[in-house]
Amino acid sequence: MTSRTHPPLRLVALSLSFGAWLLALVLPAWAQGVRPSEVVEAQLRPGWSMTDGTHVAALHLRLADGWMTYWRVPGDGGLALRMDWSGSSNISGVTKHWPSPRTFVRNGITNIGYEDELVLPIVLTPGTRGQPMHLRADVTLGVCRDICIPVDMQIKGDFAGGAGVPDPVIQGAMTAGPRPARDMGLSALRCTLEPDAKNRMRLRVELEMPRIGSDERVILEPGNPALRVRHGENAREGGLLRAEALVLARDRQHPVMVDRSSLRVTVLSDGAVVEHRGCDPA
């Protein structure tokens, strides 16, 4: 996509409030004297319009010292960021461009996310090109330090076609995502799918790829929001990295179907983050 320069767009404020935390073990934050405004500062970076009619903006979070928020796959005990765009008008699609995350081990639990700051670019696609887009979204995210609390946000923004100027902060975040695994030496990626009697699918993957750093962790995403993944262990043997997971239906009723071509495989490490889509039968 190519961009064009236009007058700056009005900056839009976000409102913050408490939400319902999904983990029963976490005490209400207000009972421990923690307020969302003391932990996270949020801003909608208005961004710019592209020549293809889409609009690039970003959710910009600044966290207090020692606090973190989560990646799209939060890890063992985190709360993934959720966005509900149903209140918007003339927006047919929203694409999030996640920067590469880090892993954090706290109290024996591995979480995946960001410390200090997160700039999350979002690309808005209009329903009718050339007409203004009106963004109205409810966002829920988790933030953690010694305790974890939920934060609810309301995002509002009006984007006219041809508005805004390229924002180097957003541009930097869009280029900070995972590298293609092929660029780091991936030569083959194979997977096996084995259904069991409990309406689950056991997924095993093998990556032929040199080590990209220490503490490699494989994340498997089937590309279907009706499915959830329970990750198992991964192991490195020379140039072969193996991982497995259990795929379940969120409603525990519908059959589990995994499309090999939609599978996203991400490898996290302290040296690099890489990803690849699709796998070949083993």
Residue-wise pLDDT for 110-145, tens only, equals 899 999 999 999 999 999 999 999 999 999 999 998
The answer, yes or no, to whether residue 197 has pLDDT greater than 90, is no
The answer, yes or no, to whether residue 109 has pLDDT greater than 50, is yes
- 62-91 pLDDT, tens digit per residue, is 999 999 999 999 987 788 899 999 999 999
**pLDDT for the residue numbered 33:** 65
User: Which helix (H) or strand (E) element contains residue 234?
Assistant: strand 227-237
To the nearest whole number, what is the mean pLDDT of the chain? 87
Integer Cα distance of 174 and 125 in angstroms = 17
**pLDDT for the residue numbered 102:** 94
Of 27, 144, 30, the C-alpha closest to 81 is 144
The answer, yes or no, to whether residue 217 has pLDDT greater than 50, is yes
**Side chain identity at residue 106, one-letter code:** R
Integer Cα distance of 235 and 241 in angstroms = 6
Which domains, ranges and CATH numbers included, belong to the chain?
A: 15-174 (2.60.40.1250), 179-281 (2.60.40)
- 3-48 pLDDT, tens digit per residue, is 433 333 333 334 343 332 332 233 344 435 677 788 999 999 999 9
- 245-256 pLDDT, tens digit per residue, is 999 999 888 889
**Side chain identity at residue 211, one-letter code:** R
Question: Are 44 and 57 contacting, i.e. CB atoms less than 8 angstroms apart?
Answer: yes
DSSP 115-162: ESEEEEEEEEEESSTTS-EEEEEEEEEEEESSSEEEEEEEEEEEE-TT
The answer, yes or no, to whether residue 264 has pLDDT greater than 50, is yes
CB within 8 Å of 254: residues ≥ 6 apart: 226
